[in-house]
Amino acid sequence: MSQMPQLSACPSCEEPLESGDRFCGACGYDLSAVPERPQDNPTITMNGSVPAQGTAAGEYPERPSAPPAGAPWPAPGPADPQATAAGGPMPPEAPPAAGVRFDRRPDGHAAPPETYQTQPDHQTQPDQMQPDEYLLQAPDPRVSAEPAAPVAGTGGKVCVACRAGRVDDDGYCENCGHAQPRERDHMEQESGPIAAVSDRGLRHHRNEDAFAIGTTALPDGTPASVAIVCDGVSSATRPDDASQAASRAASEAVLAALPRGAHPQQAMHDAIVAASRAVNSLADEPATAREQAPHQNAPACTIVGAVVTSGLLIVGWVGDSRAYWVPVDRSAPPARLTEDDSWAAQMVAAGLMNEAEAYADERAHAITGWLGADAYELEPHTAAFKPDRPGVVVVCTDGLWNYAEAAEEMARVLPLDAAAHPLHSARVLVGHALDGGGHDNVTVALVPFPAVPQGAGSA
């Protein structure tokens, strides 16, 4: 059993702790329930014999450090002889601390912060739910109905729910009162060979997920694909703004660094730092905004991203959004490429529970790492892989992997032609989550490996 980490504050009630305390003197919380966070995944060669999930980190070769500043990666191409690695500075180390944020209730809905930030075992009653989390009787967003037609003589639009009422200027049906879909309720995008789909789901009032995808080229002309997916923390204020700011900042940072010769692993690390800064800046609100919601946490989100080149796959993450590897040859094993920053993952890593027990616990989705001004520390995780065969990288939020948690399950759901038709396949994955209940926002990006030149995409 791993040693209990030294905590400065109780992760349940946030009251200060004395050195050596085993139980919180304020609420009695068992501090041994928060073991040390798992180590990062190392660099491994994916040769069809991927180590099984749950393998101790020490059994892998140690992850190499990022290349030294000034060392070009790869060798600068003839068109840009001056290109060198960016190799930005590492962020300053924060004092060791640990924290837990409860992102949703045990039944899968978002958690009001005043209830679940301080009382993780208390069940929120329906009359305590926040207005944004009331369950809406929304139409299935997968139904590709015809675009709302103008109402004769009014110039308005027809309600997508009752198909009869006029939609007023505030976006509500004058007949049935149904709120009409917003731009972020369902988003789809293709960029060369990459595709991403995000959906509000069937139970949430808004979509707090965001993504950013793009393609570029390394200095030697080698193509590179980038996908970033972020999940807003529902117990924080403005989670939708946080995820959008983080995804944009990270994507822009990676797409700018790679053509300059930065090593993809260093570029991913720096992109997460840039995303963190973008989310932190959202906390600089007017005093009046803080007075209106003094109980709210600072804006926060999780992040996961992938960079794919001709022979290298890089993933980076903070939080519990995930990346999976699914080979085109389904006889080869798929793999999960990330380890969650969550209570459940720490319990499994510490050997206190198996995965089935940990993820069945109501505290499973308490995240221990996130981007935000109130995060205890910024600890970007990055890992490099060298697959020896073609495949697809699935980059997603927990709104999808809750319905296909194991790598084998994700591989079964992913269409066989996902590398050739990523947009269609992303729609299929989102549909799988909606068929399973759609309790959360659902976002997935698909990145074929190896990277193919820009312009090649779905038929």
Residue 161, token pair as written in the block: 């729910």
> Are the C-beta atoms of residues 272 and 301 closer than 8 Å to each other?
no
What whole-number distance in Å separates Cα of residue 204 and Cα of residue 331? 37
- Give the model's pLDDT for residue 51: 41
> Are the C-beta atoms of residues 364 and 355 closer than 8 Å to each other?
no
DSSP per residue, 42-107: --B--SS-PPPTT--GGGSPPPPPPPPTT--SSPPPTT-TT-----PPPPPPPPP----EE-B-TT
β-sheet with 335-336: strand ranges across: 186-191, 194-199, 442-449, 391-396, 322-327, 335-336
- Give the model's pLDDT for residue 456: 52
Residue 450, token pair as written in the block: 């190896």
- Give the model's pLDDT for residue 56: 35
Contacts of 183 (CB under 8 A, 6+ apart): none
What whole-number distance in Å separates Cα of residue 423 and Cα of residue 212? 14
What whole-number distance in Å separates Cα of residue 300 and Cα of residue 280? 8
Dihedral of alpha carbons 279, 374, 438, 346, sign: positive
DSSP structure class, residue 271: H
DSSP per residue, 309-346: -SS-EEEEEESS-EEEEEESSTTSPPEE-----BHHHH
DSSP per residue, 91-124: PPPPPP----EE-B-TTSSBPPHHHHTT-TTPPP
> Are the C-beta atoms of residues 279 and 300 closer than 8 Å to each other?
yes
- Give the model's pLDDT for residue 125: 33
Residue at 61: amino acid letter: P
Residue at 189: amino acid letter: Q
Alpha carbon of residue 174 to chain centroid: 37
User: pLDDT truncated to tens, each residue of the chain (459 aa)?
Assistant: 333 334 556 655 666 766 666 667 777 666 554 444 444 444 444 544 444 443 333 333 333 444 444 444 554 443 333 333 333 333 333 333 345 555 543 344 444 433 323 223 333 333 333 434 333 344 455 554 444 444 444 456 788 778 788 888 777 888 888 877 788 999 999 999 999 999 999 998 899 999 999 999 999 999 999 999 999 999 899 999 999 999 999 999 999 999 999 999 999 999 999 999 999 999 886 544 544 555 568 999 999 999 999 999 999 999 999 999 999 999 999 999 999 999 988 998 899 998 889 888 888 889 999 999 998 889 899 999 999 999 999 999 999 999 999 999 999 999 999 999 999 999 999 999 999 999 999 999 999 999 877 655 443
- Give the model's pLDDT for residue 444: 98
What whole-number distance in Å separates Cα of residue 373 and Cα of residue 376? 8
Residue at 359: amino acid letter: Y
Dihedral of alpha carbons 259, 261, 264, 269, sign: negative
- Give the model's pLDDT for residue 338: 97
> Are the C-beta atoms of residues 321 and 304 closer than 8 Å to each other?
yes
- Give the model's pLDDT for residue 61: 35
What whole-number distance in Å separates Cα of residue 175 and Cα of residue 177? 6
Number of neighbours of residue 421 by Cβ within 10 angstroms: 18
Residue 303, token pair as written in the block: 């992040």
> Are the C-beta atoms of residues 69 and 53 closer than 8 Å to each other?
no
